[in-house]
Amino acid sequence: MKIAVAGTGYVGLVTGVCLAEYGHSVTCVDIDENKISLMQSGISPIYEPGLQDLMKKNMAKLLFTSNYVEAYHNADVIFIGVGTPEKPDGSADLQYVYGVAEQIANSVKNDCVIVVKSTVPIGTNDKIQELIESNLKHDVKVSVASNPEFLSQGSAVKDTLHSSRIVIGVEDKSAGEILKQVYEEFNAPILVTNRKSAEMIKYASNDFLALKISFINEIANLCEIIGADIEDVAHGMGFDGRIGNKFLNAGIGYGGSCFPKDTKALHWLANFHDYELRTVKAAIDVNENQKLKLYKKSRRYFDSLKGLTVAVLGLTFKPGTDDLREAPTLVNIPLMIEDGAIVKAWDPVGIENFQKLYSDDITYSTSIEETLREADVCFIFTEWDEVKQVDLSIFNLVMKTPIVLDGRNCFNIHEVKKHKIVYDSIGRETVN
């Protein structure tokens, strides 16, 4: 089977490389010539654990090109894995998906299945089918299938090689059979349904997870007020299999390229159909507030951050990625700078991307100790292992005043109590 993948971001590239790992020959297409030449020399343009090695291992089965006509014209299966960013009104911007669909329509010369991996609003796959059919240049049969991905950044390769499930949404049975063949080696449960249900499974899954996080964050906020401990509360809840013990980590809110966008997009879509998704709306609102939780907490210790040295540990929206999209730091650091704080930031992989946004106003370091030196306060935004494993005595040793505001509950409260630091985390007692 000849397989092409459009887009070489997190979804497209990981899909292409994993399909190659399971034996397929794959042509990856991107309009960005720089990315293509990097990949042609075996270098992954994105940071994702295991991706670089897997790519190198499978280079003989991978082709990278910006020539889409060449890639699509005789492909049997074409995956679309391009971005669907959020528009200012919260709806999904589909220009890249539709752009690729037109390119496909202009190029294909034999029957093929177009597989939409990008997260698209319910009904989009039907529109893509119509768009392609009305733009075809040859007399061929094209079937569009929805095949959402469920990978998380930072574990994208593992999540794809060992998928929790493969969801295939088709209107035509034979397309479903072809996709089942593509995924034959993947050893994951396969659910075949219609296109709209497949699209909805993706949104409902992400929005449910976002809801779970916003719920536990609200409970954490209440725990702080009434003196309960969120870690114990989440632990106790998690024993119930109906609740599950995952995704109950309280913190400063969810970020990334998926939950913020997908909650807003489904809410927007429901509104468009005159329906208000109230639970999803609540998850969005709670998250917006939660992102400012640490900044607000700093007011307990200082009237303003003006003239203070603030050490920031972690810039990315979560560990294991250099991605900054919707990261809480993007709202917090500008506030600190506006206040007149002197910001020193540490992150193992996110500095380069952050520097593109704030080059002059921040001192960056790849040493936690250097970042903390002489700081008046420390904000922890990302639970990197390097932070979780830090020797707790360092705060008192190198900071001017050892006040630690932890947005990711990185440390055990009992351990913290053995050190002379002020420690304020999420949903737990304050140590001082």
Binding-site sequence positions for substrate: 202, 247-251, 255, 318
CB of 398 to ligand UGA, least distance (A): 27
Q: Looking at beta carbons only, is 319 or 402 nearer to ligand UGA?
A: 319
Of 19, 14, 18, nearest to 182 (Cα)? 19
Q: Look up tokens 């950044």; give the residue.
A: 153
Which residues would be at the binding site for ligand UGA (CB under 6 A)?
119, 149-153, 206, 209, 213, 247-249, 251, 254-256, 258-259, 317-318
Q: Looking at beta carbons only, is 256 or 427 nearer to ligand UGA?
A: 256
Which residue among 18, 112, 223, 258 is the active-site one?
258
Of 417, 362, 355, nearest to 392 (Cα)? 417
Residue 5, CA distances (Å) to 66, 131, 423 in order:
11, 19, 48
CB of 136 to ligand UGA, least distance (A): 30
CB of 256 to ligand UGA, least distance (A): 3
CB of 164 to ligand UGA, least distance (A): 8
Q: Looking at beta carbons only, is 251 or 402 nearer to ligand UGA?
A: 251
**What residues form the annotated binding site for NAD(+)?**
30, 35, 84, 119, 261, 325
Rg (CA), the chain: 23
Q: Looking at beta carbons only, is 118 or 298 nearer to ligand UGA?
A: 118
**What residues form the annotated binding site?**
30, 35, 84, 119, 202, 247-251, 255, 261, 318, 325
CB of 310 to ligand UGA, least distance (A): 21
Residue 48 sits at the vertex; the CA angle it makes with 43 and 51, to the nearest 5 degrees, is 55
Residues 6+ apart with CB under 8 A from 299: none
410 is catalytic: no
CB 344 within 8 A of CB 375: yes
What is the C-alpha separation between 88 and 99, in angstroms, rounded? Answer: 20
Q: Looking at beta carbons only, is 91 or 119 nearer to ligand UGA?
A: 119
**Looking at the annotation, which residues are catalytic?**
258
